[in-house]
Structure 1
Amino acid sequence: MDRPGPRTGRQPPRPRAHGRAGRRPAGFAKQFTATLLDVPAEASSTRGVLVLRNASGELEQPIRTDRGDPEAGRAVIERARALIGPRVRVYRLNERMASNPKL
């Protein structure tokens, strides 16, 4: 059986993981490493608010968790509070708002 020889010529361009530059298609999460500084409770909605500092030392936009009223939401907030201090890998996925389908 003949083995293929070395590749010649240019390789075709690899498909990009994202659509237009800077925009992620629905379902793709922004990923970054950060230090979790605090998880205060938001009084108006009982959601936890993750306060994060990224690797370059800047504060990231706060991330809101699920509501803390149901048991599952409260468990997410408590799990986040257990991670305060060390560096964490963050996967941020923005959901569309039901009241504004364009966002």
Structure 2
Amino acid sequence: MPAVSPCRTGRLGRLTVELTDSPGSLAEVTAVLGRLEANIVEVLHQRTFVSLPLQSAEVEFILQTRGLPHMRAVVEGLRAEGIEGRWVEQQAD
């Protein structure tokens, strides 16, 4: 039986967050992710080459979660803290 990708089971996913480009913004998001028990595997902080308003940044997190319900709970938990995040859908193999 072939192994199922962690991405397909929701255990690994890409979350994109737009935040203000100011001191402490990234720390605030990572603190919330920690409280929501999402494990940060990788971070890409993009301030240039994106079509965002000035003083904004896009941060992409690769997160390890307990599965799809946990992924949804992470987005809802961020939203409850005033942080908008969205999961980036994986491409089909």
TM-score (norm 2): 0.30
Higher strand residue share: 2
Structure whose alpha-carbon radius of gyration is higher: 1
Structure showing greater relative contact order (alpha-carbon pairs closer than 8 Å, 6 or more residues apart): 2
